[in-house]
Amino acid sequence: MQDFGHILDNRVLLVALLACLIAQILKLVIHLIQHGKVTVRVLVETGGMPSAHSALVASLAAGVGQTVGWASAEFALATIFAIIVMYDAAGVRQAAGKQARILNQIIDELFREHPTFNEDRLKELLGHTPFQVIVGSALGITISCLAGPAY
């Protein structure tokens, strides 16, 4: 348990978290530019530009590669983990959002026919577009490279 205090010495982890934080701040700035107002809620919602999940895992994989070596099993593990997270963000969750949109349309039609039917709307923005994932991963890798190796 005493080793837990050394977590702040893990530069790879700190840089990955920094990449995630920067991506989240960029979401806030981009939302401000697009809508002309600060909406703090975008910091905790899923989706948006850039993908903070992608920035986090891409920075993590790049940091592991810089630190342990590009041919290491650890880099392979971090890279596969990053690919799965990014695929999920752009693929599976994006598809679930499209399904939610269709289900919400069905619910709207039921409301017209049966006004007593009362059901909550499903959240439609669940994932990222492939472009948001690419930008997030490029941001994460860039931040990791700018931070340099964690020797």
User: pLDDT: is 125 or 96 the higher one?
Assistant: 96
Could you report the per-residue pLDDT of 28-83, keeping only the tens digit for each? 999 899 889 888 888 877 778 899 999 999 999 999 999 999 999 999 999 999 99
Could you report the per-residue pLDDT of 92-113, keeping only the tens digit for each? 766 666 777 777 777 777 777 6
The predicted model scores a pTM of 0.77
Per-position b or e across 67-81, b if 16+ CB within 10 A of its CB: bbeeeeeebeebbee
How crowded is residue 62: how many other Cβ atoms within 10 Å of its Cβ?
28
Domain boundary assignment for the chain = 2-147
